[in-house]
Amino acid sequence: MAKAVDLKRPLADLAAEVQTGKLTSAELVEASLARLKETENYHTVLEISSTALQQAKVIDNRIAAGETIGPLAGIPYIAKDNFLTADTHTTAASHILEPFKAPYQAVAIERLEAAGAVMVAKANLDAFGHGASTENSDFGASKNPADPEYVPGGSSGGSAAAVALGQACFSIGTDTGGSLRQPSSYCGVVGLKPTYGLVPRYGVIAMGSSFDSIGPITNRVADAALVLDVIAGRDDRDATSIERVHDGYRLSDIEYTLSGQKIGVIKEYLGDGLDSSIKKSIDQTVALLKSKGAVVEVVSLPAVKLALAAYYILVPAEVSSNLARYDGVKYGYSAPEAENLEETYRLSREEGFGAEAKRRILIGTYVLSSGYYDAYYKRAQSVRTKLIAEFDAVFGKFDFLLGPTAPTPAFKLGAKVNDPIAMYLNDIMTVSANLVGIPSISIPLGEINKLPYGLQLMAPQRRETDLLPFANAVEELL
């Protein structure tokens, strides 16, 4: 029987107790494995690590020998299954990678390991990150912890549901158009998408390379800050990665004041389609912020209306290119009945990819083809440029932007799975941050019939150091 340990306690407290011998990493990992078993019906994970307990014992022994481990000493976590990891498979939830074992680990995984964290399982996702519900997983959908008839969101749905269920102390995932924030909103946890490039992408299966961001899903903002502090910073193996700030990202003890902070509420997110209860919560939050002395104004970013359309041109274009490497030769699935090279390519891709991956390959190759490039791809790129300019201008006047994370709480399993456009519309409030490359965080705001929904906060590029203390203050306020 695993000792009853509350895996939802602050990461810093748990790590300190492991370091001082009050708790052991083995106890934490055993509790995590027990919880994974107890709640396996939610189908949050695709594989459980067979070496986690062993790794935990190694950490305990090192501590017993007097060693100081790191800021995440002994803490069990779950990684989305698009991170390359040593002891488990890495499938991206696609049949085409089902047999794949990575020859090296992702930078983020290396850094977590070096800080003392122990990976216990690989989380379910929409295959390759394509989706907003985890229903596009080739291995079956995950379920929402608040109600198993509902989706947990996506594509990091397994990672978000796992944290909400207390299966591990935190998880990590990727966000190309909302995949950390929207499932966090649906599951009632915190999801942080950092500035593009702040966490190196090396060793993470690419979706849209100019959009993909790596970040944590946690129970509170302070935990997100701590995990970001561990995984952030330039690595030469990702040329797009950027330097971390000198003092790091952990929250300081210095008293934070909301008074005088300038906050813009994105007008385009408050219109038709936004659930009226969520709208009411946003209004209440604005009133609360004003009562604390913050300056809050509604601000318009007209190009935001075009963001979703631009996203669903640019991302499939990058997806079609990134998925070209799965050819039945280099990695993963290879169609056994193929009789020549041409057939190996065709059949492996036909049998290995799911419907959504194929849809994106088709859209992507179409918008990049010579006859349509100017009409679609180029115009979508101009929308991206315009959006960047509009956000820049608005951040000249405001410190932060605020809005809902998604227009509604979670929907029922099966409700949108046959309607790609309805599914894509879930991303309407999250894709802009990826198009612009800015940091954005979703924190729990409220519930409708027990189904959670989140509040989204954004800051200019590289300003996690402002965003995290602000989000922490808002979290306390709520």
Positions in the binding site for ligand GLN (CB under 6 A): 129-132, 155, 174-179, 207, 315, 427
| Cβ closest to ligand GLN, residue 23 vs residue 323 | 323
Strand arrangement, sheet containing 190-193: 45-48, 118-123, 76-80, 170-175, 213-218, 190-193, 440-448, 451-458, 400-404, 262-266, 295-299
Q: Which residues contact 323 (CB under 8 A, 6 or more apart)?
A: 128, 353, 357, 360, 361
**Strand pairing class (262-266; 400-404):** parallel
> Which tokens belong to 102?
């990575």
Least distance (Å) from ligand GLN to the CB of residue 476?
A: 28
Residue with tokens 């709640």: 39
Determine the Cα–Cα distance for residues 365 and 321; give it in Å rounded to an integer.
Answer: 8
Determine the Cα–Cα distance for residues 113 and 51; give it in Å rounded to an integer.
Answer: 13
Tell me how far CA of residue 151 lies from CA of 126, 135, 424, 453, in angstroms.
12, 8, 15, 13
What is the rounded radius of gyration, in angstroms, for the C-alpha atoms of the chain? 21
**Strand pairing class (440-448; 400-404):** unpaired
Least distance (Å) from ligand GLN to the CB of residue 183?
A: 9
Is the Cβ–Cβ distance between 114 and 107 less than 8 Å?
A: no
| Cβ closest to ligand GLN, residue 177 vs residue 328 | 177
Is the Cβ–Cβ distance between 432 and 424 less than 8 Å?
A: no
Residue with tokens 């499939």: 316
| Cβ closest to ligand GLN, residue 71 vs residue 403 | 403
Cα 163 off chain centre by: 12
**Strand pairing class (295-299; 262-266):** parallel
* The Cα angle at residue 290 between residues 289 and 296, in degrees rounded to 5: 90
Least distance (Å) from ligand GLN to the CB of residue 199?
A: 14
| Cβ closest to ligand GLN, residue 176 vs residue 408 | 176
Among 119, 318, 123, 90, smallest CA distance to 204 is for 90
Least distance (Å) from ligand GLN to the CB of residue 132?
A: 4
Least distance (Å) from ligand GLN to the CB of residue 434?
A: 7
Is the Cβ–Cβ distance between 191 and 438 less than 8 Å?
A: no
Q: In what helix (H) or strand (E) does residue 282 lie, and over which residues does it extend?
A: helix 276-291
Is the Cβ–Cβ distance between 470 and 477 less than 8 Å?
A: no
Least distance (Å) from ligand GLN to the CB of residue 2?
A: 33
**Which residue's beta carbon is nearest to the bound ligand GLN?**
179
| Cβ closest to ligand GLN, residue 37 vs residue 412 | 412
Which residues are part of the catalytic machinery? 80, 155, 179
| Cβ closest to ligand GLN, residue 131 vs residue 188 | 131
User: What residues form DSSP beta bridges with 91?
Assistant: none
Least distance (Å) from ligand GLN to the CB of residue 204?
A: 11
Least distance (Å) from ligand GLN to the CB of residue 128?
A: 8
